[in-house]
Structure 1
Amino acid sequence: MRAATKRAAGRTALKRALIPIENKRSFLEVTGDVVEHVDPIFYGDPKTAAFKALGIN
């Protein structure tokens, strides 16, 4: 996850990232420069992820 997040953030000026709640611990291993520029949005199920991606609460 670390390398993929860093590449995506660097290539696309990623601002937000939808991350499964199961990977929350892995996100803490991402380098500080990536964490500084990416707002993680954690989700527990696909429906919640879709709502969060669309900006629906």
Structure 2
Amino acid sequence: MDTKKLRQKILDLAIHGKLVPQDPNDEPASVLLERIKAEKERLIKEGKIKKSKKVYKGF
């Protein structure tokens, strides 16, 4: 197997969560993202961080 195919295979396994054992007790990513969003909003309201500027990415 050449380097390019090996790299692609490793990436494929990583994307599908097959490189390390998965913990069924882990929360879904969507829940984690919501918690991060809520925490960020709380810190903005408290004035501890500034609201991030939206960056326009033209296509």
TM-score, normalising length: structure 2: 0.21
Task: Please state which structure has a larger fraction of its residues in helix.
Answer: 1
Task: Please state which structure has a larger fraction of its residues in strand.
Answer: 1
Structure with larger RCO (C-alpha < 8 A, sep 6+): 1
Q: Which has the larger radius of gyration?
A: 2
TM-score, normalising length: structure 1: 0.21
